[in-house]
Structure 1
């Protein structure tokens, strides 16, 4: 076990190449994306979300999904995932089925955010996800379902735990082997997160892998990680350099990024929790992203460096 009763090891999935890049206003050259994905794939990460099959007019930044997947050089031990918003996205993804291993489908816990994000009701989204998941599994792909605004919605306020868990059960019934709970606009707090994952673990932990996806919008991202760890969560998503945010963060408050992968890994390692990730290599990948984007990034460890005990 890690320190203070924590687990010896957790899983970390890097989502920066998809969740981070999609929020960048300036187009990133495909060659630069390829180099950054290849660097991340050699940090010890075992899971890597690299792109999304969305309409080019909706997210132009990810219009090169097929080209990117064809060009990256990822070691066999790294599981590559892509996000698919609907059946049309899955059709496009299956054209290059041999280049990835997992699909991520998504919806919001709140009706208002789901309407703003994908122009569907939650029920309509679940219906579409069922068809996508069935076809994806038939193609031999692992399925993850992500629930955005699982802890709070900028339009509706606090989301009841029962609502998020009801949707999680529905996703599992539709064929999702993993369910991610997203704090999409950084509204969660550690007390809320601990209670949430204690209940989720007790009710769903033996049926499906539970993953936490925190944003650092209000500076509580890593505190929420610790609360989730305490409650039994063993899988986390993060974005190198603290890239990302939510395009539907609400009418008045723009969202800052996901928790930074290097901040997460640094904290976990300092607490005695292993990830299998080389922190120095991860920081190197974030430095490379900073150079490509030409601006400072939000990661603390990227600025301060790792803890060095003498």
Structure 2
């Protein structure tokens, strides 16, 4: 297995007493080669539909039963509604730091946000939402994250299901054998799937927050500005070079957790997995074919919704 060395790169930090940041020495980012694993066209279709539907207010009446998923993430909170066929029909998502390491740290803020999202989506659909499924990071006891369930209840939603994030993601991906890796806002979650069932899960710190902190330190900007820079298509090459060591760490986490298992391929989900080069770095370090679907941020929320009771 060959690991490509880090491009020429020097991590600068702001000067003392509010001085200007040190000079950034940045080499051109290595362009990733195409993934060796093709994505599922049906999964990509559903994710394209989610990207075109969520955060698009306006009347969208739907006949038939609906299912709702609420994903309280470290960086983003997502509420998505799917129809009887599992197609996204409405939803909202918003950057909100109300959860840390799977634990709700701003209970009042979480309730207010989910309540507002619920009300807006109900107005779009012209009908009430009565229940929702939600999730928790792997390796965290459901008892430790019961506040997540309580957020739903306080927002007027019965909590119909409480599922770990990789299991939720695989409800959409439908992987028979392999690893589902959720690179979220704060952690990297790994699930081993055999014969369509999750047989092992693990979760370690390192996610989008760590990427943003590196960008903020390197460029001498605020965390909020770093988040914006991270999403700017014009700066993808720069960001890739700055965060390459963090990508390597994600790859190392994945390699360690899949080592005891016969993993055929790795399937990346979560918003951070869509960053330039992530798929290639994970494949390089693990030695496994790796793929990331379009709009990976929506995989887990849709999978959560698929666990809700139709209503």
Tell whether the structures are fold-level matches, with TM greater than 0.5. Answer: no
Q: Which has the larger radius of gyration?
A: 2
TM, length-normalised to structure 2: 0.32
Q: What TM-score do the two structures reach when normalised by structure 1?
A: 0.32
1 or 2, which has the higher helix percentage?
1
